[in-house]
Each structure stands twice: as C-alpha cells, then as structure tokens.
Amino acid sequence: MSEPRAFVEVNLAAIAANIQTIASETDSQILAVVKADAYGHGLIEVARAAVESGASWLGTALLEEALQLRAAGITAPVLAWLTPPGDDFDTALRERIDLSISSLAILEGILAAGERTGITPRVHIEVDTGMTRGGFLEEWDPFLIRLREVKDSLHIVGFWTHFARADEPDSDFTEQQLILFNVLLNALQSEGIYPEIVHTANSAGALAHKSSHKQMVRIGIAMYGLTPDITTMGSSEKLGLIPAMSIKAKLVNVKSVPAFSRVGYGGVGVTDMDTKLGIVCMGYSDGLPRRADSTAGVSYKGELARLVGRVSMDQCVVDLGPDSQALAGEYVTVIGEDGFSADDWASAAGTINYEITTRIASRLPRIYLR
Ligand SMILES: *Cc1c(COP(=O)(O)O)cnc(C)c1O
C-alpha cells in the first residue's frame, strides 16, 4: 500500500509511562479502561500494552468489546459494565468476563445464564450514588431482598459506583458520593456479603481524591495521557501525563491566494493577507469537528497553521503563511507534540478531549510506536 493520506500514531510507551505514573500514586490495583476502541487508540494493542505495563484489570463498556479482548487471546480479568438485558450472558460466562449488575432485570438475566451454563457468574454490583445514570437506585431494597435468595449462585467480586464530578477538585460532591457509597456497602455487608474489590475512582478520582482509591482505580483518559478537565485540573503536562495519540495528514495542495479570499463552504473563512493555503487531507468524516474555529489547525515543521473556514467532509484548509516552504504531498501534524493538542481541538470546537480522540474514524490506520 502507498503511504496513507492520514494516520494516527499511538505511542504505547506513553501509555506505559502514564500507567506507571498513576501506579506510583496509589496502592490500588489498576483497571485500564479500553472502551470505545481504547478512546480511539485501538482496543487490542492498548489492552496488551496496559497489561504489560502494570494494569491488572481491563474494563469495557460493552460485552462485545470484552469478547474481542478474549478473541485476541488476552487472558487478564475483564469487567464489562454496560450490558443491557438480552445480551449474550452465556457467552460472557464461558469467556470468563466479569459482569456488572445494575438492575433487577440484569441480575435475572445473569442468573439464568449461570443456570444454563453451569458456570457461577462473577459479578460487580453497581450503585448509583449521585451520577443518576447507571447502578441501583430505587431498586436497591428489592435487590437486597432478591440477593438473599440467590447470593450462593453468584460470585460477588466487586462493588462499585461512578463519580459525576470528580474532576472538580473544589466540590465536595465526590465526598458525598463516597459517604452514600459506604452506607450502601455496609448494607451489603450486613447481608454477609463482602466483595473483594471495592472500586469507585475514574482518572479524576485517582488524581484528585485519594479517599476514592479503594482496592482498584479505573483509569481511562489519564492512561491516554490526557487531562480529565483542562480548566479545573490543568493540562496533561501539569499532571505529568504524556499524550499517546498524534495524527498526521498529507497536504493535497498548497496554493497562493490574495488577501480577503473567502475559503470553503459558506465563505466564512477569510484570509487577512496574501498567503499560502494548505489543503489538508482530513475532514469531519475522519473525526475532525466541523465546528472547530481558527484556534485549531495543524503544524508544519513546528510552525502553526490555523484553520481557515469550515472543516469539510474529507479535507480542511489551513493558513500556512506567505513564506511557507510546505509542499503538496508532505505531512502536517494535526494533533501532536509540535502542534495542536486534543485539548486545543476540543476547545476550538466547544467539547472535551474525550470526544476528540474517540471520534477519530476507524478508516485512519493506527500505527503503534513502542
Ligand atoms: C469511562 C469510565 C471510566 C474512565 O473514566 P476516565 O474519566 O476516562 O478515567 C471509569 N469507570 C467507568 C464506569 C467508565 O464508564
């Protein structure tokens, strides 16, 4: 194959370093969150690198993601936490996937699969302590009653919750969630049930709330070297994290245009002087946000070239400056150390770094650096 017109470079050494940075701050086990194709970095490669670098668990949202890990020969413990009733729990049990129980319907589905397969399900009970999304809330009391009848048919490995505002170090909301969490844990223990692994922290919890570490921390965004929130927690650099993803794309063309040229759909971009424009072979179908403004762009040999006009489906236009030596066919950096970060793109488009990396299209090849 010829050189790709655009590609994603994933630095697995950065992922290893970020895991080690987190590990040096906690005594807890690390669960590496690899949902959504490892936040766009590539499920299997990242999962392998994470396990080699000290993560003892892997976490996915979907069961199909967990099964892909097994199909790739990965044997580490895997927890899948977003499994609607009707999912193929039989296969999950046969593949030794730990499942989350967050409702009575899911409990019954998992129990039935345990009976059919003769395998005792390994489960983690999720409680809703303030996110008002996943986990037991109004069904908690009926759940405890049902659990009395069926607890011997389950291996209750974990008890967990998820934080809504752990990325706000000045808010006491996380501490309030932890207080409620402990009340619910005590209620479970009064039933004679003592899960081995209690877990609550996401990246922000692990970085900013030591009291949330428990037996395991679930690390997503920080493993990829990105900050959970650039305004409240500071940049990757400030947190000692190394971004793992960079993106390069080719210039399709370089053209000289006069001042006041209107660029792209709607003519909303206007050149402010005679300049050279670079036509970059990457657009919104590749995951660049269409609404990004000119505070983002690309870099060419370390020189920033800002977006002009709207991002198109497969391409975008940047202002290289009148003296640029850039040539058609050369690569520019769309995300990378010497240019704009995922956080720069996020701020240019009114979103968060999570959304930037997870949306980078699968049609861009991933190239792994070790
Ligand atoms: C996505 C997710 C995480 C990781 O969150 P980060 O902010 O990326 O660290 C942890 N736990 C659960 C349940 C999640 O869904």
Indicate the DSSP class of residue 256. Answer: E
- Whole-number average pLDDT of the chain: 98
Tell me the CA–centroid distance for residue 139 and ligand 1, in Å. 23
Tell me the CA–centroid distance for residue 100 and ligand 1, in Å. 14
Indicate the DSSP class of residue 365. Answer: P
- Name all residues whose Cβ lies below 6 A of ligand 1: 33, 35, 81, 162, 202-204, 218-222, 228
pLDDT computed for residue 1 by the predictor? 60
Strands 275-280 vs 245-257: parallel, antiparallel or unpaired: antiparallel
Q: Can you spell out the DSSP letters for 196-239?
A: SEEEEE-HHHHHH-GGG-TTEEEESTTTTT--S-HHHH--HHHH
Structure-token pair, residue 8: 């994603």
35 is catalytic: yes
Indicate the DSSP class of residue 284. Answer: G
Structure-token pair, residue 169: 């170090």
CB-neighbour burial class of residue 327 (10 A; exposed 0-12, middle 13-18, buried 19+): exposed
Tell me the CA–centroid distance for residue 219 and ligand 1, in Å. 6
Return the bridge partners of 57, or none: 31
Span 267-317, pLDDT tens digits: 999 999 999 999 999 999 999 999 999 999 999 999 999 999 999 999 999
Query: For the residues 20-48, what does the mean pLDDT come to?
Result: 98
pTM > 0.95: yes
Is residue 332 within 8 A of residue 248, CB to CB? The reply is: yes
- pLDDT > 70: what percent of the chain? 100
Could you confirm whether domain 245-369 is CATH 2.40.37.10? Answer: yes
- With the C-alpha atoms ordered 239, 241, 245, 250, is the resulting torsion angle positive or negative? positive
Tell me the CA–centroid distance for residue 108 and ligand 1, in Å. 26
d(C-alpha 178, C-alpha 161), whole Å: 9
* Numbered ranges of CATH 2.40.37.10 in the chain: 245-369
Span 253-272, pLDDT tens digits: 999 999 999 999 999 999 99
* Numbered ranges of CATH 3.20.20.10 in the chain: 12-230
Query: For the residues 225-237, what does the mean pLDDT come to?
Result: 98
Catalytic residue among 35, 214, 250, 276: 35
Could you confirm whether domain 12-230 is CATH 3.50.50.60? Answer: no
| Helix 140-150 and helix 104-117, axial crossing angle in degrees, nearest 10 | 20
Burial 169-201 (b: 16+ CB within 10 A, else e): eeeeebeebbeebeebbeebeeeebebebbbbb
**Local structure of 241: helix, strand or coil:** coil
pLDDT computed for residue 354 by the predictor? 98
Return the bridge partners of 155, or none: 122
Catalytic residue among 210, 238, 265, 301: 265
Neighbours of 63 (CB within 10 A): 22
Span 69-99, pLDDT tens digits: 999 999 999 999 999 999 999 999 999 999 9
Span 106-136, pLDDT tens digits: 999 999 999 999 999 999 999 999 999 999 9
**Local structure of 54: helix, strand or coil:** coil
368 is catalytic: no
Tell me the CA–centroid distance for residue 256 and ligand 1, in Å. 46
Structure-token pair, residue 316: 């975008």
Is residue 251 within 8 A of residue 279, CB to CB? The reply is: yes
Residue of 196, 120, 212, 119 lying closest to 163 (CA atoms): 212
CA angle 270, 276, 277 (to 5 degrees): 60
pLDDT computed for residue 2 by the predictor? 81
